[in-house]
Amino acid sequence: MKRPDLWLCVFVVAGVLGSPLYNTALVRAQLIGDAPVGPLGSVAVLCAGLALAWRATLRRGHLWADPAALTWSDFDGRRPAVLSRRLVFGWGARFAVAGYFFVVAGVLIGFPPGVVGPLALYVGVAVLALVMARRRPFPGESLLPLVPAVLGVVSDAPLWIFAVAAFVAAAGLAWAPPLAQTAGRATLVHHFRERLVRRTSTAFLDVWALLPAGRRVPWQRAFAGRFVVLRYVLVGVLARRHALGLPVFLGLAVTAAHATFPAVTSVWLLGLGAYLALLPFAAPVAQLHRVPGLRRWLDASETRLRLTTALVLTVLGAGWTSVVWLLGVPVTFGSVVAVLVAGYAVVRTVSRGPLDFSVMGLVLYEGVLIPAGLVRQLAHGPDLLLVGLFVCGFLPPLW
């Protein structure tokens, strides 16, 4: 990308992100309306943002190195500094996004009476996340980001206590040797391969290759017996049990969004949340359609495969909706139908075949070439979701 184009993108993004700050009345009318909202909603947004930023930092995506560089040019001792710089930049970007949403929520609905507590929690969690990401992982650390997410749901939570606990934990973990110095070649090459797969998949718009890969399931006779299609889908869900944290965080984020922006109906919140929460567990079906040889291996009709997957995802969506309902988000008839639509939209999304770049269907509009055929292939699934949620918004309440 040329420098003028880059600066144009920067100005456009800055204008969009700054809209709530200089066009506050219009954005408040669209997201909040006339509903009364307390200033604690901004605290919920902050806690949800901190949880997501902390969880993303703990993935330690900075630990990668090109195998060729490790072999031929890794003798000058610069690798620890490079890895540490990547960690700091990624950590700073994630928590800057969390701080931005807190500021936007405060401008729209008001900051809490005591701003010092939320700011102390922000700094404490950010420091703890940085300290944990620079050391080796320990069992159960992925559950710790749930703490600030739960604080956003509990309105009378003492933020000061958890901020002090975060500082104390960060001081206790700071003595550990940094991974930038102790990470071995196997770890660096493994993360490099994952990064290369993500970049290649993004470049070729093969976004479903970014879905989480399965892990070993201790079920020796998984495909022995009847109902092979159901067994395959269930094993695929169990193989991605490590992705269960995402639905939990999405449920807490939906709860915080409902408390902050009551003008946004539960149909859209639950529909979009269910779609994102169920998408990782449909990865085995996406793998079948990405690799035609695997699809021929599973001797089942397309209708049977889709209905079986939709049934399993409906059960998972019902469980996720129940948890969100217990957290305080109202569940209406329209939102229940929206979750069902989201489940089948996921099935429609992952059952799309590989992208065919020979049918891009270029259309000239206002001097810009738009690949309409490619857009149609990419919208296979999200189109059903958006249309379905729009229709669900007009369904009458039955309870």
Per-residue model confidence as pLDDT tens digits over 230-287:
888 888 888 888 888 889 888 888 888 887 777 788 899 999 999 999 999 998 888 8
Mean pLDDT to the nearest integer, 159-176:
88
pLDDT of 293 > 90? The answer is: no
Amino acid sitting at position 301? S
> pLDDT tens, 375-398?
888 888 899 999 999 999 888 876
Task: Write the burial class of residue 379 (CB in 10 Å: 0-12 exposed, 13-18 middle, 19+ buried).
Answer: middle
Q: Is residue 8 predicted with pLDDT exceeding 70?
A: no
pLDDT of amino acid 33 = 65
Is the Cβ–Cβ distance between 271 and 342 less than 8 Å?
yes
Question: Tell me, what's the pLDDT at 2?
Answer: 60
pLDDT surpasses 70 at 154? no
- The pLDDT, as a whole number, for residue 345 is 94
CB 398, CB 281: distance < 8 Å:
no
Q: Is the pLDDT higher at 275 or at 32? A: 275
Phi and psi based region of residue 301 (left: phi greater than 0; alpha: psi -120 to 50; beta: remaining): beta
Q: Do 386 and 372 contact (CB within 8 A), yes or no?
A: no
Structure tokens at 201: 């998949």
List, for residues 179-207, the tens digit of each pLDDT value: 888 888 999 999 999 888 888 888 888 77
Note the pLDDT of residue 370: 77
pTM summary value = 0.83
Tell me which of 16 and 135 has the higher pLDDT.
Answer: 135
Give me 203's structure tokens.
Answer: 């470049």
CA-to-CA distance for 233 and 312, rounded, in angstroms?
8
Mean pLDDT of 71-87: 90
